[in-house]
Structure 1
Amino acid sequence: MLGSGLAFALAGCTSGEPEQGSPMLAGTGAPVIVPGAPGEPGRTAKPGERVGRSESRPSAADVLFAQRMIPHHRQALEMAGLAPSRAGDPGVLRLCERIAAGQLPEIGVMSSWLRALGREAPAGHPEHTSGDGYGMASVEEMNRLRSARGAAFDALLLRLMTRHHEGAVRMAGEELSGGTDQTIRKMAQDVASGQGVEIGRMRKLMR
């Protein structure tokens, strides 16, 4: 699905548009807006000014976000993958399906981004204690989740996944405060908004 969206976006470009990465010459058509730094307003380019994509290198915060969020997402996928054979509430099953559909493509984007920088994407996910600050489930919690069925599974899954999502939102906030790469900042914005919505859904299911 991610690939089809990208293909659609590329198909929308006409032959008369500059390629991505190519400089544009201000004053030859419509006003060209130069984006400002994160949190700052843009400006209109001066006539004759060549404007291209930002050449600023990704910050350490961008790399750290991707390296942390990939294994974080993988654990969420592992938890969600238990639902088809264990969940008792259809709402919990649907929630887990949405989590899988949203987070799997995000892992692909972040992994490709890291490889483009010459870095390997983290493999698997490390075992964490529940006190890691980002909501990762501990080995003991994951074992309890694997053993639970029906209403007991639903309750534990919702509690663990809510905490997990809250940790992801916290991580996204750190990226938005210190990151500079627009791809990763957009990913952080999507994580913060999307998982914030899912937190609300999970709290309703817990009632």
Structure 2
Amino acid sequence: MSISRTHVLIAATAAVLFAAGCSTDSTTTHPAEHTSPVTTSAAASTDFNAADVSFLRMMYPHHAQAVEMAKIVPSHTQNQRLIALAAQVEKAQAPEMRQITDLLAGFGEPAPSATEDHAGHDMPGMMTDAQMSDLRAANGAEFDRQWLTMMIAHHEGAVAMAEAELNAGVNPPSRQLATAIVADQEAEITTMRGMLEQN
């Protein structure tokens, strides 16, 4: 179920460009109604475009599913390395979800939803309900194999969406988040591929 990075990046870029095309004013920047802290040292910028909004609104449910996948690990495997990796995924992505919420609020946008599907457009790397059910039904080494395979694809999708944001977005904090996602998740992909080979 490995996803071609090229195909995923094309899909992510197309989703961002579609959102930009749907915007009634995608070429100008908009003032935020108020600024909200996204880290301890930075506040939301007043400059953003449709690509920034699309990226954030898609990344929130994408992260939510990764956190959901991470939470089920301890009850399905005794693999301590996988348990530690899942905790790392949750520790990184849960705070990023709060950053996304703050950024969208600073743009005057509605709060994101964990189930949002961006008006029917598929987000790269998202698992289907059937795949999630299969994962929950597995245990031990089979669970480890399924989880690693799914999370690699999930991370590849997140990286593709983040790269699309870096190509089209203008909001500095959103771009900083995208940069962090690329760095962190590419490193975890390398780790997971190594674990999968040993499984």
TM superposition score normalised by structure 2: 0.73
Higher relative contact order (CA 8 A, sep 6+): 2
Q: Could you give the per-residue CA deviations for residues 100-138 of structure 1, whole angstroms, max 9, x where no partner exists?
A: 00000000001011012221222222579xx94511000
In structure 2, the partner of 1:152 is: 142
The match for 2:184 among 180, 188, 194 is 194
Q: Quick one: percent identity of the two aligned structures?
A: 36
Name the structure with the higher helix share: 2
In structure 1, the partner of 2:10 is: none
Task: Please list, as runs of the form range in 1=range in 2, the aligned pairs for 1:133-172 lying within 5 A after superposition.
Answer: 134-172=124-162
Tell me, in whole angstroms, the C-alpha distance in 2 between the residues paired with 1:70 and 1:133.
11
Tell me, in whole angstroms, the C-alpha distance in 1 between the residues paired with 2:122 and 2:50.
20
Aligned-residue Cα RMSD (Å) equals 2.4
In structure 2, the partner of 1:122 is: 112
Q: 1:186 to 1:164 in 2, by over 3 A?
A: same
TM superposition score normalised by structure 1: 0.71
In structure 2, what residue type is equivalent to 1:93? I
Q: Does 1:203 align with 2:188?
A: no
Tell me, in whole angstroms, the C-alpha distance in 2 between the residues paired with 1:76 and 1:206.
18
In structure 2, the partner of 1:81 is: 71
Tell me, in whole angstroms, the C-alpha distance in 2 between the residues paired with 1:181 and 1:166.
23
Give structure 1 stretches of 5+ with no counterpart: 11-19, 22-53
- How many residue pairs align between the two structures? 158
Tell me, in whole angstroms, the C-alpha distance in 1 between the residues paired with 2:90 and 2:68.
9
In structure 1, the partner of 2:52 is: 62
Tell me, in whole angstroms, the C-alpha distance in 1 between the residues paired with 2:117 and 2:123.
14
Kindly report structure 1 stretches of 4+ aligned residues shifted beyond 4 Å.
none
Structure number with greater Rg is 1
Contact 2:58 2:116 in 1 (8 A): no
In structure 2, what residue type is equivalent to 1:101? K
Tell me, in whole angstroms, the C-alpha distance in 2 between the residues paired with 1:183 and 1:133.
21
Give structure 2 stretches of 5+ with no counterpart: 1-36
Q: Could you give the per-residue CA deviations for residues 65-110 of structure 1, whole angstroms, max 9, x where no partner exists?
A: 0000000000000000100111231111111000000000000001
